Amino acid sequence: MKITGVKGMNDILPAAVGRWHEMERLAREVFHLYGYREVRTPAVEHAALFARGVGEATDIVNKEMYVFEDKGEELLALRPEGTAGTVRAFIEHGCHVEGLQKWFYIGPMFRRERPQKGRYRQFHQIGCEAFGAGQPAVDVEQIALLADLFSRLGVTTDLKLNSVGDAACRPAYLASLKGYLQGHAGALCADCRDRIERNPLRVLDCKVESCQPVLQGAPRLLDALCQGCKDHLGAVTSGLDALGVAYRLDPRLVRGLDYYTRTAYEFASDALGSQSAVAGGGRYDGLVETLGGQPTPGIGFALGQERLALILEAIGRAPPEQGPAVFFLSADEAGAKEALRRASQLRKLGIACDLDPRGGKMKTQFKQAERVGARYAVVLGGNEAASGEAKLKDLATREELPVRLDDLAERLRE
Ligand code: HAM
């Protein structure tokens, strides 16, 4: 019986991988420009890390997390996101003593969501986290970094910004929001009614049409912010204005993870349809302490690579695949040996080349040369092997020029 891949977990085939290389190359370049260093943490963590970090009441932990008992000993989880594990590593290695830390990561995440376009069960994030600075300048710098990355990729996005308050102002706001929602529960969908007690902020994010009139009339957290949060938001918006980063204040923007304080934001793209968020992030000033570390402010974001790949495809940005410089075709046994020898020499000199180990018909070998995107082809047989002379064929123009095989590397470098 044929065994298929797991639903919602995708293969990225060689023909598509160029876009992934491109986004990762640019992301690494931009992170370097902004002083972020790479961290690599495991894909598996203790399930309790996410329950405590991301929040027990969130859909991510409550409904979507892959949790398993490791041989009946420990309850582990496939990471549904990168922040909690990064914070765990930061605490475990005592990194707070090193002052401000700016880290980034690239890797797979897992959520058992209902698969649809732009939503998968294994997906990949490019993310970053900055620890140790509560100043709004970090928020501004990080949002500008992400805007910079999108602009280098030629991708147009919409930035939505909000403040979700902090321990000083959110409790009173949540109480008034709950009161309001309870008063209008009859006009809300079942999901919303279910969330009023558990996670009232998430009700604001409901997309169901019939809920919208109630949600539009709901008290706004932006109006209930304490002075500290108001000042912080004001400094973030004026910082973005100063850098020319366009944004829209969205008082109903809430995020699906519980750790956020103050700044929360999302970048969306029209090219994506219903799963329009290509990146999201925000500040989490209490998370390090919640997970057992020294009180340390933090802020970060994550970008969904599958969604970015969909956008790059939609806008027709396909970085050219880098084929080999030359492809050796063999006319006979002696030619096949010579091809292997010459290919090995060129590869040692750092020149990419390829050959068809199956030999066979010239037409088939030429097809293979074109399929792998080779720039030139050289046919080798007993005569060429003996004389050291062959023809260098430009596969684009079909032009053929004589070449001494010993000069091949030099000619290709030209
Ligand atoms: P998030 O909003 O849950 O935030 O995910 C960030 C991005 O990951 C989303 O905007 C989306 O592009 C992508 N994504 C999420 N779920 C899926 C899925 N099922 N399929 C495909 N793509 C998906 C976080 O994960 C936070 N850790 C971000 C953060 C870092 N906040 C602070 N630091």
Domains of the chain (ranges; CATH) run 14-169+225-314 (3.30.930.10), 326-407 (3.40.50.800)
Closest protein CA for atom 23 of ligand 1: 304
With 90 as the cut, is the pLDDT of residue 12 above it?
yes
**pTM of the full structure:** 0.93
Q: How many whole angstroms from 69 Cα to the centroid of ligand 1? A: 25
With 80 as the cut, is the pLDDT of residue 320 above it?
no
Instruction: Using the Cα atoms of residue 33, residue 39, residue 40 and residue 41 in order, give the sign of their dihedral.
Output: negative
Q: Is 85 in the pocket of ligand 1 (CB under 6 A)?
A: no
Q: Is residue 158 within 8 Å of 28, Cβ to Cβ?
A: no
Q: Is residue 315 within 8 Å of 269, Cβ to Cβ?
A: no
Report pLDDT digits (tens) over 90-136: 999 999 989 999 999 999 999 999 999 999 999 999 999 999 999 99
Closest protein CA for atom 31 of ligand 1: 281
| Sheet containing strand 376-380, strands side by side | 353-355, 326-330, 376-380, 389-394, 400-404
Sequence-distant (6+) residues with CB within 8 A of 312 are 19, 22, 23, 153, 155, 318
Q: Is residue 369 within 8 Å of 385, Cβ to Cβ?
A: no
Q: How many whole angstroms from 338 Cα to the centroid of ligand 1? A: 52
Q: Is 129 in the pocket of ligand 1 (CB under 6 A)?
A: yes
Q: Is 111 in the pocket of ligand 1 (CB under 6 A)?
A: yes
Distance, in Å, from the CA atom of 117 to the CA atom of 99, rounded to the nearest integer, reads 41
Q: Is residue 366 within 8 Å of 394, Cβ to Cβ?
A: no
267 Cα nearest atom in ligand 1? 10
Q: Determine how many CB atoms are found less than 10 A away from the CB of residue 299.
A: 26
Kindly state the helix (H) or strand (E) to which residue 392 belongs, with its residue range.
Answer: strand 389-394
Task: Calculate mean pLDDT across residues 376-384.
Answer: 97
Q: Is 283 in the pocket of ligand 1 (CB under 6 A)?
A: no
Locate 248 and state its tokens.
């829209």
Locate 231 and state its tokens.
């000042």
Q: Is 279 in the pocket of ligand 1 (CB under 6 A)?
A: yes
Task: Calculate mean pLDDT across residues 139-157.
Answer: 97
Q: Is 265 in the pocket of ligand 1 (CB under 6 A)?
A: no
- Give residue 319's pLDDT: 76
Closest protein CA for atom 2 of ligand 1: 280
- Give residue 225's pLDDT: 97
Q: How many Cα atoms within 13 Å fall on the side-chain side of residue 383?
A: 5
The DSSP output letter for 288 is H
CA distance readout (Å), 66 to 52, 54, 58, 61, 109: 16, 14, 14, 9, 10
121 Cα nearest atom in ligand 1? 19
Q: Is 53 in the pocket of ligand 1 (CB under 6 A)?
A: no
264 - beta bridge partners? Answer: 162, 282
Pocket test for ligand 1, best of 50, 81, 274 (most atoms within 8 A of CB): 81
Closest protein CA for atom 30 of ligand 1: 301
Split at pLDDT 50, 70, 90, the class of 301 is: very high
Task: Calculate mean pLDDT across residues 239-245.
Answer: 98
Q: Which of 86, 44, 92 is nearest to 65 (CA)?
A: 44
Q: Which of 156, 177, 153 is nearest to 165 (CA)?
A: 177
Q: Is 356 in the pocket of ligand 1 (CB under 6 A)?
A: no
Mean pLDDT score of the chain, rounded to an integer? 95
Split at pLDDT 50, 70, 90, the class of 89 is: very high
The DSSP output letter for 405 is G
